[in-house]
Structure formats: structure tokens, C-alpha cells
Amino acid sequence: MAILVQKYGGTSLGDAAKIKSVAQRVARSREAGNEIAVVVSAMGKTTDALIALADSVSPAPEPREMDLLLSTGEVVSSTLMAMALREIGVPSISMGGAQAGIRTDAAHGRASIVHLDPARVRHELDGGTVVIIAGFQGINDEMDITTLGRGGSDTTGVALAIALEADRCEIYTDVDGIYTADPRVVPDAKKLAEIGYEEMLELATYGAKMHPRSIELAAWYKLPVLVASSTANVPGTLIHDITSDGGDAMEVSNKVRGVTYDRDVARVTIRGVLDSPGISARVFEPLTDAGISVDTIVQNASTERLTDLSFTVERRNVTQALEVTRRIATDIGAADCVAHDHLGNVSIVGTGMQNAPGFASRMFRALADAAINIEMITTSQIRITCLVDESQVDEAVRVLHDAFEVG
Ligand code: ASP
Ligand code: MG
């Protein structure tokens, strides 16, 4: 009997009716002869609502309290799913992350899984029971509940599939796969039948709605991940190890695979920084200490030993980031700090870029022709990202999808 791990996202579990219809799907997969472990997200926008509730009680809640609070969202879905399954005659049991053997480090709000002992889950599966696991959470050495960071249920699903030695992890969501661009922005975007881990990791990190750590983990263990619709019965996208010896790999590899975007970007610039050893460390250590995760960093070449230092953060962190950098700026004698909080990233991704010149210039030309100003540029081996004004993000995605004939 095959072990299947299925993860269902929050929008697929938005209300009682949706929970019941997911239960029907799970029941059908079981009838087909599989042992099934299900990982669930919190219903609909529950996590956002819990965060807002906490904010209204305390402006800076203890991370430990926050994690215990947020973990309840997933616990609610898991219990309701187990009830819905029993209601249609399927033996099932719900478990919190800790009960499912998920041990994490102590980094509240962004904990990493250090160990997953699937013995209890496996025991239940052996007895023919469907196990429903609350996603996005685990327990640390102090026996405190931790969460894995927003979107972390994907990572729970992948980790569980690896621990149970399942053939693959299936991620069911409200979109039916990974597209060449967001179909809401680019109507002629095409669904990809498959994609490699490397490209998917870049897409996820720079916009696509999957927890990037789930892709890293899957890539490490070469676990195939299927992303598919939780309602329609149409083929999804298989994320797996694509090697370049396939029939048409040569032609395919020369292309941009996808265009992605992230509307939630703010930039902080420190102007007139003395260009001397140790300055960057002095700027970024306090940001790390404040728990602010910095994305792109750009330092200009200096003139007269003075330089500008810019970095991007999520918008919700910009006020705090600016406070921290203002303090440091005074210490290191920088001229001033400014923030721009309505920016967005637009990225093109494709392994074919690795050894072919010309992708960057074509990208810049396409944006220029659409009168879109580029605020900052960053690249990896297989990605080019331009920071643009938030209001021009959609247009930039469409223009690039067209220019590189991705669809
Ligand atoms: N409920 C959590 C969130 O909204 C985790 C998840 O859905 O994966 O971020
Ligand atoms: Mg998600």
C-alpha cells in the first residue's frame, strides 16, 4: 500500500462545506488503496485574524505567546477534518504538530524542524486510520509550541512525506498548479506540467505562493511534490528532479520558465556611509538582533570614500528597520536614512539563463519600452530581479511574459 501525504491550504478549507468536500476527496484517495496522512492549514484567513487580534491586545506580543496562539488555527482545521471524515465512515484522528513528532529549534515564529519521529503517525496509518496533522507547527526542547513561519504548512507536508518515506507529497490548493506567471495578472499564462527544484525555489522565494523551505527540503531529499487543485480534477504541476538529458531539453533549457512578482517590498537607504571595513557588519548585526530579515542588499561603489547602502525588507518591517538604521547611522556618522515603502519585485527565472548572455539586456529593454523605471537590480545564476514601483508591477509582469514568450 502506498503512503500518500496530502496538504490542503487554507482557502481549500475556508468553511464547513469546503472541509466536507475535502474529506470526500481524502476518502476517495483512501478507497483507491492508499494510506493517507493529511496536513492542513488554518481555515481561510484565520492566521491573519489571529495576528490582528493579538495586535489589538498588545503592540509587541511575546513570540512564545504568539506561536501558541497561531498554532490553534491549524488545530481547529485538523479536528474538524477528522470529524468530517468520521462522519462519512472513514476512521481518522487529528494531531497537533507535537503529537505527530515534529521537533523544532527554539526560533519562535520561524522555527526549523530538527527532527521528525513519525512513529505515532505510522502506527495510526498501520491500523487503517487517516491521520490529520495540524500544519505549520512543532514543539521545541522546552516543550513550547513553535511555528515555522507564514506558509509553513507546505514544509510540514514535505517533512512528513520524507519521514514516512512516501512516494511524494501532494499539495492541494486553490490554484491548479504552477503557472508561467500569475494568471490573474497575465491571462494567457500557461500551466507548467513539471518544473525542477532550482527554478521552483527561485519562483517561490521571489513570489509564487509556496513556502520556499518546503522546496529546499524536497530538493535535498529528491522528494517529488505535486501542486494541484483541491477541487478540480485536472493535472497539476510536478516539482521534481529534472536532469537535462530529456529529449527536448536543449530547446527548453534556453527559455525563461516563469515570471514572478512580489508586491510587498520596502527599501531602506543609508546615505553617505563611510566606506571602511566593518561598516556593513555594524549596520546589519542590529537588524538581525531585532529579528528583521533583510532581503536584497546593494552597496554602491564609493566616491570620495562615501557610499550609499540600500536593502529591502517586507513592508510590515520597514518602520522598525528604519528606526534601527537611524540609530546606527548616527553612530557611524552617515548622512541620513530614507525609506521607500511602495515597491515590488519582478523576476524572470530559468536555468537556461546560466550560460546564455542577453537575458538582462532584453529584460531592461522590455521594461524601458513600457516606461517602467528600475529602482534596483539583483541576479542569481538563474534569476534576474528588478525592483520597480508597486503601481507598475502588474504591467512589468505582462511586458516580460510577452517579451520572453513564456506563455
Ligand atoms: N496558517 C499559516 C499561514 O497562514 C500557515 C500556512 O497556511 O501554511 O501562514
Ligand atoms: Mg500557503
- Could you give the percent of the chain with pLDDT greater than 70? 97
* Within a domain: 271: no
Q: Is the pLDDT of residue 246 over 70?
A: no
Q: What is the mean pLDDT of the chain?
A: 93
Question: Which atom of ligand 1 is least distant from the CA of 151?
Answer: 8
Question: Which atom of ligand 1 is least distant from the CA of 156?
Answer: 8
d(CA 367, CA 259): 13
How many whole angstroms from 208 Cα to the centroid of ligand 2?
A: 10
* Within a domain: 345: no
Domain that holds residue 7: 3-250
Q: Is the pLDDT of residue 190 over 60?
A: yes
CA-based angle 147:73:155, to the nearest 5? 40
Does ligand 1 have an atom closer than 6 angstroms to the CB of 392?
no
Question: Which atom of ligand 1 is least distant from the CA of 149?
Answer: 9
d(CA 342, CA 224): 37
* Within a domain: 88: yes
- Burial level of 22, CB count in 10 A (0-12/13-18/19+)? buried
What are the tens digits of pLDDT across the range 82-127? 999 999 999 999 999 999 999 999 999 999 999 999 999 999 999 9
Query: What's the N-to-C CA distance of the chain in angstroms?
Result: 39
> In the numeric block, which cell numbers belong to residue 271?
546615505
How many whole angstroms from 216 Cα to the centroid of ligand 2?
A: 15
What are the tens digits of pLDDT across the range 129-153? 999 999 999 999 999 999 999 999 9
Q: Is the pLDDT of residue 300 over 90?
A: no
* Within a domain: 343: no
Does ligand 1 have an atom closer than 6 angstroms to the CB of 44?
no
Does ligand 1 have an atom closer than 6 angstroms to the CB of 151?
yes
What are the tens digits of pLDDT across the range 310-330? 999 999 899 999 999 999 998
Q: Is the pLDDT of residue 223 over 80?
A: yes
CB neighbour burial string for 131-149, b if at least 16 within 10 angstroms, e if fewer: bbbbbbbbbbeeebbbbbb
How many whole angstroms from 275 Cα to the centroid of ligand 2?
A: 41
Does ligand 1 have an atom closer than 6 angstroms to the CB of 152?
yes
Structural domains counted in the chain: 1
Does ligand 1 have an atom closer than 6 angstroms to the CB of 137?
no
* Within a domain: 22: yes
Residue owning the nearest CA to atom 1 of ligand 1: 42
How many whole angstroms from 70 Cα to the centroid of ligand 1?
A: 9
pTM: 0.91
* Within a domain: 216: yes
* Within a domain: 319: no
> In the numeric block, which cell numbers belong to residue 305?
570614500
Question: Which atom of ligand 1 is least distant from the CA of 152?
Answer: 8
* Within a domain: 277: no
At 218, which CATH number?
3.40.1160.10
> In the numeric block, which cell numbers belong to residue 385?
530581479
